Amino acid sequence: MSNDNNQTTTHANTQDNGNSNYTPPQVWTQDKENGGKFSSTNRPTAGARHEQTLPVGKAPLQLYSLNTPNGVKVNILLEELAELGIKGAEYDAYKIDISEGDQFGSDFVALNPNSKIPALVDYSAMIATNTGSNHDAGTPIEIFESGAILVYLAEKFGKFIPMEQGTARAECLSWLMWQMGSAPYLGGGFGHFYAYAPEPMEYPINRYTMETKRQLDVLDSHLKNSEYMCGNDESDYNIADIIIWAWYGQLVLGKLYDAGEFLQVDSYQHLQRWAKNIAERPAVKRAVELSLQPLA
């Protein structure tokens, strides 16, 4: 599963148009649309579906994304770097509309063969080709997957990640990987069946609600004795907070799936405190409302 735009057609352990007697065939085939918000873009194959030329601005970093939770992660880090006045972290941001299939354009697929947002290109870190007359030429660095982008940028600028091997770095990376492994159950699981599926289905909603609430309890228990995910000082705020807030912080603040009451998010008091504090950061305020330029 993936956090954004992964409402793929499936057959096991689900109902078919409300029919609880559905039996999976011996071999699955896509013989009809599965319904739901992203049914028009879902296919069981990868690769480009149309020709596309992505715009390239003048800033050293070029971001191709959308202001979904996965996209907001990178927005926040870039805006936090801007808040510090970090030279070289300037960026242009372009909108990849996943509901319109922009993620399947040829240029975007070349950046991310998995066709998911976000993707980033770093033109400031050119890799020399060392090919005779083209010695001064180079190739930009391309990064996909939100977690990989956060680690790349944090390490490139030496901010919002512990740089030395040790306990602090291990804790930061552990929570970052926790989010990447857990959030698909929230987004592609709970979010899809609660908000995007063509009709409500009790079993998957109950299954993913239980797991989402378990994850919220994990975070709430951890934050009982910690201001941030990895410590109590302002200097402890890092990409673990950023990557987790984009999904779970926004969820408990009632900004995802209109599911706050259903999940009883007010009961997670320590998680609420953390989420509200981060939401008040100027960089975060800008990030969630980031203006994205059109592709054309």
CATH value at residue 223: 1.20.1050.10
Count of beta carbons in the 10 Å neighbourhood of residue 113: 12
Please report whether residue 33 resides in a domain: no
94 by Cβ neighbours in 10 Å (0-12 / 13-18 / 19+) ranks as buried
Please report whether residue 205 resides in a domain: yes
289 by Cβ neighbours in 10 Å (0-12 / 13-18 / 19+) ranks as exposed
CA pair distance 277, 282, nearest whole angstrom: 11
Structural domain total, the chain: 1
Dmax over Cα atoms in the chain, in whole Å? Answer: 68
Please report whether residue 210 resides in a domain: yes
Amino acid of residue 52 = Q
Please report whether residue 45 resides in a domain: no
Two structure tokens written together for 226: 């910690």
**What is the model's pLDDT at position 9?**
35
CA pair distance 56, 45, nearest whole angstrom: 28
Please report whether residue 271 resides in a domain: yes
Over its length of 296 residues, how does the chain's per-residue pLDDT go in tens digits? 444 444 333 333 444 444 568 899 999 998 877 777 777 788 899 999 999 999 999 999 999 999 999 999 999 999 999 999 999 999 999 999 999 999 999 999 999 999 999 999 999 967 544 444 333 457 899 999 999 999 999 999 999 999 999 999 999 999 999 999 999 999 999 999 999 999 999 999 999 999 999 999 999 999 999 999 999 999 999 999 999 999 999 999 999 999 999 999 999 999 999 999 999 999 999 999 999 999 98
CA pair distance 206, 200, nearest whole angstrom: 11
- CA distances in angstroms from 34 to 152, 166, 197, listed in the order given: 37, 47, 9
CA pair distance 176, 243, nearest whole angstrom: 7
Q: 263: domain range? A: 167-283
Please report whether residue 55 resides in a domain: no
What's phi and psi for 6, nearest 5 deg?
Answer: -125, 40
CA pair distance 97, 233, nearest whole angstrom: 38
Looking up tokens 């509200």 gives 276
pTM of structure: 0.89
Please report whether residue 206 resides in a domain: yes
**What is the model's pLDDT at position 161?**
98
Residue 119's SS3 state is strand
Please report whether residue 203 resides in a domain: yes
